[in-house]
Amino acid sequence: MIRTTLAALLSHWLRSPLQLVMLLTGLALATALWSGVQALNAEARAAYATAEGLLADGGTAHLEHPSGQIAPAQFVALRRAGWPVSPVLEGRAQIGAARVTLLGIDPFSAPAAAGPALAASDLGGFFGGLGYAHPQTLQDIGAADMSLRPAQAVPVGVVLADIATVQALLQADGQITRLALSGPLPPTAPPLVALAPNLRLVAPGEGADLAGLTDSFHLNLTAFGLLAFAVGLFIVHSAVGLAFEQRRAMFRTLRALGLPLRHLTACLAAEMAVFALFAGALGLGLGYALAAALLPDVALTLRGLYGAPVPGALQFDPLWALAGMGMTLAGTALAGGQALWRLWHMPALAPAQPRAWALASQAALRGQGLAGLGFAAGAVGLWAMGSGLVAGFGLLACVLLAAALAVPMLLSLALRMSERLARGPVAQWFWADSRQSLPRLSLAMMALMLALSANIGVGTMVASFRATFITWLDLRLVAEVNVLPRSQSEALALQEFLTPRAQAVLPMQRVDATLAGQPAQIYAMKDHATFRDNWPLIAPVPDVWNRLAAGDGVLVNEQLYRRAGLQPGASWLDVPGLGALPVLGAYPDYGNPLAQAVLGQEIFARAYPETPIRQFAIRTADAPALIDALQDEFGLPLGQITDQAQAKALSLAIFERTFLITGALNILTLAVAALALFAALSTLAGMRLVQLAPLWALGLTPRQLAGLELARALVLGALVMVLALPVGLALAQVLLAVINVQAFGWRLPLQAFPADWARLGLWAMLAVLAAAALPALRLWRQGPQALLRVFALER
């Protein structure tokens, strides 16, 4: 009985192969977009774990000095006093063709982790100068002077070597960046304050851990993956719903022939499960390919934005595949559940005709509109009272769902108004028929609404960010040349050399600290017109620059200002070594995940006297000549010198990469929505013949009818685009004013980009045209034969 039932049910798909293709495509695409994003997230998180597992730094405490350098004598004193510390030296250097992070460890004293384990596998070689690097790093390095071996346990962009090897490579003899604690402190160990009062004990997890910093980035990706998954499910829901309508007569017959309802429902559920498994497998393959294609850009973004070492090659994880398949099955159950529920409640002698009018009923539209209103109220509530990133995404979801649910009602309203204004009989029929076709197209229209409003929202956010970012870059990167000294002695020599040759030499010094409970950096700022004239400030106090130069306060970056709720002129900030200082203002600091504060140069030098100079910003009228002179005098490689154009190009490149994946997901979501529309129009095409045949008989040509079908899709698409514009702008505002503030700590002004919207509108119309063209073309080509069949079937 089961086999016979399944054969009968499946025969529908054999007769409607396009519908089956759409169902499977919808499921496969939904799975692909969701699982692709999950693969990217999993790969990145695995990379963070690798980075933290190399020295177990994420799980153990360490000692550090505000200057970033620890004297060897202090290390020796601590060891002698019983402190289980191990020296670590970290620095950047050019190895072969790549600029990498060199990590020097002492394998005997280092905390047990992947790094020391690697060293122990060939101790002789390790002490003899052997380094370990990720295979991808080795590929980037190419030919190198030092001996290197591949190791998956080393993060991308890092070379692990013995501390003595690294000291030699960095020309940093005897230098130590930090001291890792390799075990618990013995009870007899003297306190740190007695041995090394200028060192700070950093507790595990207190530092800027990568997983925490990048959480918002991954949440963004997940949100987009979920949106794409939801849009894909619209296709599935639409295809399953249409198949249900088309098989109503078959269900009635099967039940009339004695098939128990339980069996029929089970068979339908089994049919959906088989489809889900097949399309899920296909989707996982596609998702893997998508993730593999996007991962290099995501890796570059994470490295550029957060310094997170993510490899550019994807590993296959069976758990990921299982989770993806689970999501597909759950999504299918969600999309097909309504059909099963309706079948379960369908009377044995239910009418075989599709319930066109019932579906179109005002009650159904009203119900949907009410649900939309509920979500809109939720959005208002979250806007007014919500806080945190999750509430921000909840707000986004509410806005999107409210808009999507309101689409059929608003379209119906617009079509009704057009019908009233229509003059000719064809125009009148066109609007009335479009309104009546709406229930069957509403899912596709809702998917299109989601895709378009997300596109407008994200596009406007990115464009607003880009415009603000470029202006900000122009103001911030005014120094014509930047030089990175390789050591403190070179820094002093550079300063002496540059002072008479440049208009201004602005040294950059930095210490790491904790400010308002957040991992932060404190910078020194020389009092100069470069900063006074160009730095944009948020809510500065009067006379801000003079007060900063006099050491009468501190500037904070926007991230710290917003996260800690600081008010310039009213708030005070505890600065290690200086006590509480008044907050004088905040400055935008896009792209930096950490909190930051700026002190006047003199007060900084008093508080952190041994801080090395990390960089010089140089004002000069002749940058090329100065760069030549620096190279002649100091033999500085080009990697140590950047001019203004390079710095801007680098920053912009990082910016563009950051939003590359968002752009890719945007386009894919729009493509899925177009597919949803195509699926709906294609499956409806057969049903439409019944409605179009009388018009043909009354004197309209198949060509006119095909044109009207095309026009109907375009009109509906255009109306959705018009509705999507305010929704997209609302989304952009939520992204700029809520999500960005929560995720990154900065707020940006919303700007209008009508040309971008017009371009998107054009793309949307092209997508709609592409989706509607085939069914319309088929109607035109098959024309009289297909239409005549309607009358023949009457008999």
Partner 1 sequence: MSALELEHVSKSFDSAEGRVQVLRDLSLRLEAGQSLALTGESGSGKSTLLHIAAGLEQADQGRVLVAGQEIGALGEAGRAALRRGHVGLVFQQFNLIPSLNVAANLAFQARLSGREDRAHIRDLAAALGLEGLLQRYPEQLSGGQQQRVAIGRCLAARPALVLADEPTGNLDEATGERVLDLMLGLTRAEGVALLLVTHSPRLAARCDGRAHLRAGVLASALDGAP
Residues near partner 1 (CB under 8 A) = 356-357, 424-426, 428-429, 432-433, 435-437, 691, 693-704, 783-784, 787-788, 791-792, 794-795
Cβ-Cβ contacts under 8 Å for 709 (sequence gap 6 or more): 688, 692, 772, 775, 776, 779
Report, in Å, the least distance between residue 277 CB and partner 1.
Answer: 38
- In whole angstroms, the minimum distance from the beta carbon of 339 to partner 1 comes to 23
| C-alpha–C-alpha distance, residues 45 and 39, integer Å | 10
Q: Which is nearer to partner 1, 316 or 357 (CB)?
A: 357
Query: Quick one: 354 or 569, whose CB is closer to partner 1?
Result: 354
Q: How far apart are CA 54 and CA 59, in angstroms?
A: 11
Least Å distance, CB 259 to partner 1, is: 30
Nearer to partner 1, 341 or 357 (CB): 357
Q: At its nearest, how many Å lie between partner 1 and the CB of residue 792?
A: 7
DSSP symbol at 581: E
Choice between 409 and 473, CB closer to partner 1: 409
- For the chain, the residue count is 795
Q: Give the torsion through C-alpha atoms of 201, 202, 203, 207, to 10 deg.
A: 180
As a three-state string, the secondary structure of 108-125 is: CCCCCCHHHHHHHHCHHH
140/433 with CB nearer partner 1: 433
Residue (426 or 638) nearer to partner 1, CB? 426
The answer to whether the beta carbons of residues 753 and 460 sit under 8 Å apart is yes
Going by C-alpha positions, the residue among 300, 46, 313 that lies closest to residue 153 is 46
Q: Are 558 and 529 in contact (CB under 8 A)?
A: no
* Residue whose CB is less far from partner 1, 150 or 425: 425
- For partner 1, the closer CB: 319 or 792: 792
Is 436 or 518 the residue whose CB approaches partner 1 more closely? Answer: 436
Least Å from the CB of residue 421 to partner 1: 14
Q: How far is the CB of 709 from partner 1 (least distance, A)?
A: 14
Helices 660-697/702-734 angle, 10° precision: 150
Token reading at 316: 């296959």
Count of Cβ atoms closer than 10 Å to residue 518 Cβ: 17
DSSP codes, 148-187: EEE-TTSPTTEEEEEHHHHHHHTT-TT-BSEEEE-SPPPT
- Residue 766 vs 777, nearer CB to partner 1: 777
Do 524 and 645 contact (CB within 8 A), yes or no? no
CB of 698 to partner 1, least distance (A): 5
Scan for tokens 């000692």, then name that residue. 63
| Residue in the structure block whose two tokens are 């997300």 | 454
Contact between 476 and 620 (Cβ < 8 Å): no
Nearer residue to partner 1 within complex by CB, 551 or 783: 783
Residue 234 CB, nearest distance to partner 1 (Å)?
A: 24
Task: Name which of 425 and 749 has its Cβ closer to partner 1.
Answer: 425
Of the two residues 492 and 697, which places its CB atom closer to partner 1 in the complex? 697
Among candidates 623, 593, 598, 583, which has minimal Cα distance to 740?
593
| Smallest separation, CB 795 to partner 1 (Å) | 6
3-state secondary structure labels for all residues of 459-472: HHHHHHHHHHHHHH
Burial 450-470 (b: 16+ CB within 10 A, else e): bbbbbbbbbbbbbbbbbebbe
Please, which residues have CB within 8 angstroms of residue 769's CB and are 6 or more apart in sequence?
710, 713, 714
CA–CA distance, 298 with 89 (Å, rounded to integer): 28
Q: What is the rounded CA–CA span in Å between residue 528 and residue 598?
A: 14
Q: Provide the 8-state DSSP code for 540.
A: P
* CB closer to partner 1, 134 vs 435: 435
Inter-residue contact 151 to 133 (CB < 8 Å): yes
Gap between the Cα atoms of 120 and 68, Å rounded: 28
CB of 681 to partner 1, least distance (A): 17
Amino acid making up residue 493? A
If you count DSSP H runs as helices and E runs as strands, how many of each does the chain have, helices first? Answer: 28, 17
Q: Which of 298, 262, 299, 87 is closest to 179 using CA atoms?
A: 87
Helix (H) or strand (E) holding 571: none
Q: What is the H or E stretch that residue 384 is in?
A: helix 362-385
Output the 3-class SS for 730-765. Answer: HHHHHHHHHHHHHHCCCCCCCCCCHHHHHHHHHHHH
Instruction: Give least dist CB 692 to partner 1, A.
Output: 10
Pairing of strands 595-600, 554-557: antiparallel
Q: Smallest distance, Å, CB 350 to partner 1?
A: 16
Say if residue 126 is exposed, middle or buried (CB neighbours under 10 Å; 0-12, 13-18, 19+): buried
Smallest distance from the beta carbon of 215 to partner 1, in angstroms? 51
Query: Minimum distance between the CB of residue 295 and partner 1, rounded to whole angstroms?
Result: 50
User: 298 or 692, CB closer to partner 1?
Assistant: 692
State the minimum distance, in angstroms, from the CB of residue 436 to partner 1. Answer: 4
Residue 426 CB, nearest approach to partner 1 (Å): 7
| Distance of closest approach, residue 405 Cβ to partner 1, in angstroms | 23
H or E element, residue 138 = helix 135-141
Q: Which is it for the CA torsion 494, 496, 502, 506, positive or negative?
A: positive
State which residue, 110 or 685, has the beta carbon closest to partner 1: 685
In the complex, what is the shortest distance from the CB of residue 427 to partner 1, in angstroms, rounded to a whole number?
10
Minimum CB distance to partner 1 smaller for 486 or for 688: 688
3-state percent helix, strand, coil for the chain, nearest multiple of 5 = 65, 10, 25
The CB density around residue 629, as the number of other CB atoms within 10 Å, is: 14
In terms of CB distance, is 338 or 701 closer to partner 1? 701
